[in-house]
Amino acid sequence: MKEYKIKLQQKYDAFVVHFSEHMPIAESELHYENSYQLLVAVILSAQCTDKRVNMTTPALFGRFPTPQDMAASTVEEIYTYIKSISYPNNKAKNLLGMAQTLVGDFNGVVPNNLEDLQKLPGVGRKTANVMMAVAFDQPAMPVDTHVFRVSNRIGLTKNSKNVLETEKTLVAHLPKAVISKAHHWLILHGRYVCLARKPKCEDCGIRGICDFYGKTNNTKS
């Protein structure tokens, strides 16, 4: 057990060294100008591509530049702006509820703590962690499908059975200063290199520490 822990931490250290050198700037690909816009964009991004969200939000933000504007609208009107997004009916309801809660309970200001963020309609732990990491630059680790898949595939969290376990394992082993950036490293690596169906192992700079690559190579040889 002790030997495994040492090897695991060495894997984390190598992961941090590689991405610190090769991806020093790692940011959300969502377009936003303030915490309210980011919150809206993240809610819309659930099971939807960032590219599609970025095509949708300019008109949405133009019509609803503040939480107060959105809170005074209706589900039906919000829907007309986001109908090209996945699950537009539910997301329209969540956006209206989120805006009304922001205005009614938080004076129109997006809260900067995990507990209050999760009181907003449409905001679960992952979305709240995105806000903490991206909007408020806190050491939070949002776990989406990319983070869950890639961290398990590499072997950073190979025994984690769910997203909460994955989050806790990553936070426990990563240096606090890079936790929020590491979330972007894992997402971008999963989006462009470590693809779900056919990972581009030949283009991967961390294949030397990757469990999946090691098992695949052993199987082939």
| Per annotation, catalytic residue among 126, 168, 198, 220 | 126
Predicted confidence at residue 216, as pLDDT, reads: 84
Predicted confidence at residue 5, as pLDDT, reads: 43
Which parts of the chain register pLDDT below 50? 1-6, 221
Annotated catalytic residue 126: yes
Annotated catalytic residue 119: no
Predicted confidence at residue 219, as pLDDT, reads: 56
Q: How far is 114 from 4, CA to CA, in rounded Å?
A: 32
| Per annotation, catalytic residue among 51, 144, 168, 181 | 144
Predicted confidence at residue 3, as pLDDT, reads: 38
Do the beta carbons of residue 141 and residue 171 sit within 8 Å?
yes
